[in-house]
Amino acid sequence: MTFEVPEIDEPVIVQGITGRYGSLHAGLMLRYGTNVAAGVTPGKGGEAVEGVPVYDTVKEAADNTGAKASVLFVPAPALLSAAQEAAGAGIRLLVAITEHVPIRDTLKILRICQESGTRLIGPNTPGIIVPSMKLKLGIMPAPSFHEGGVALFSRSGTLMYEVADSLTRSGIGQHVALGVGGDPVNCTTLTECLDWAAAADEVNSVVVVGEIGGDAEERLAGHIEETRFHKPLVAYIAGRSAPREKHMGHAGAIIYGDYGTAESKIGALRAAGAKVARTTSEIPALVRSAR
């Protein structure tokens, strides 16, 4: 299953727009050039944030704007119902910034999305940015990103900004940057991102920022081999020196026994033909030489 990003100037909704975080980032998205057409906060219908009208329900917001995409800043306990409401109102792309979501809520959201054909990125994601379209559905700092041919996929927010910034300063732009999220379960996986990059003509190379925990990078490596993914791929894995059985900030960054170690991920990606950077600062040169 692949996914589509909105067209240029297509309207988008912000759920949780009246909160401190939601209003800050709705403004930043607008100033970047993204068409934030409506906000949703139950009980705050009729208000406005950054000149954007607020509705009580997603359905009203969607009916009044035609939006098919929504960025969610709702509190963790409310994410399940907010995502369910959006999927029910015909929203096709959900970007869930919300962190600290219970695992079983995320699994329920995943089932709802699979049944309704809705794409959700996250939760606990910085979002997605397409610089050529001035499309920013998320919280990333816009100046670090610049138009170009790299598809950057990351399990970490700040490392995605850091890597994008160093690529940009080296003159290497990005077609898209997308955070899959720092949780144990990502509703959009690295593997799905790779399929998207394989099909996108604008993408000439891929950078993956992984970290300890789980087996997303091992699965990605398997998928590279199975699909004979042909574009140059550079990877970086954070947490080579991390202790076992400790959550290292992200709920998903934890090693149990030998499951989820950096060595396993680096080994699998190398075997699949990826170039693996030892530090983030090596990434731009590796991208350049891989092309």
Partner 1 sequence: MRYQRRSLMRLFEYQGKALFARYGIPVPRSLLAENESQVLSAVDELGLPVVIKAQVLSGGRGRAGGVVVVKTRDAAVGEARRVLGLTVGGEPTRSLLVEEASEHSAEMYLAVSLDRGRREFVALASRSGGTEVESQARGAIVEVPVPLDGLTDDAASALGAKLGLDGRTASEFRSILRRLEKLSREEECELVEINPLAVHLDGSLVALDSKVVLDDNALFRHPEFSQLAPEDPLEGEAAKFGFAFVRLDGNIAVVGNGAGLVLSTLDLVADSGGRAACFLDLGGGAQRDRVEAALRLVRRLPDAKVILVNIFGGITRTTDVAEGLRGVLSEEPMAPVCARISGADQEEAHALLSGSGILVFGSAQEAVLAAVEAVSP
List residues near partner 1 by CB under 8 A. 19, 21, 24, 28, 75-77, 98-105, 107-108, 110-111, 139-141, 143-144, 154-162, 165, 182, 184-185, 209, 211-216, 218-219, 236, 238-243, 245-254, 257, 278-281
Beta sheet of 147-154, edge-to-edge order: 135-138, 127-130, 174-179, 147-154, 205-211, 233-238, 275-277
Side chain identity at 135, as an amino acid letter? L
CB 99, CB 182: distance < 8 Å = yes
Kindly tell me which of 11 and 16 has the beta carbon lying closer to partner 1: 16
- Least distance (Å) between residue 91 CB and partner 1: 21
- Beta strand residue intervals within the chain, DSSP E: 12-15, 36-40, 48-49, 52-55, 69-72, 93-96, 119-121, 127-130, 135-138, 147-154, 174-179, 205-211, 233-238, 275-277
- Least distance (Å) between residue 175 CB and partner 1: 20
- Least distance (Å) between residue 123 CB and partner 1: 10
Kindly tell me which of 10 and 218 has the beta carbon lying closer to partner 1: 218
Kindly tell me which of 201 and 245 has the beta carbon lying closer to partner 1: 245
Kindly tell me which of 74 and 151 has the beta carbon lying closer to partner 1: 74
223 noted as active-site residue: no
Q: How far apart are CA 118 and CA 96, in angstroms?
A: 13
- Least distance (Å) between residue 218 CB and partner 1: 8
Q: Which residues are catalytic?
A: 250
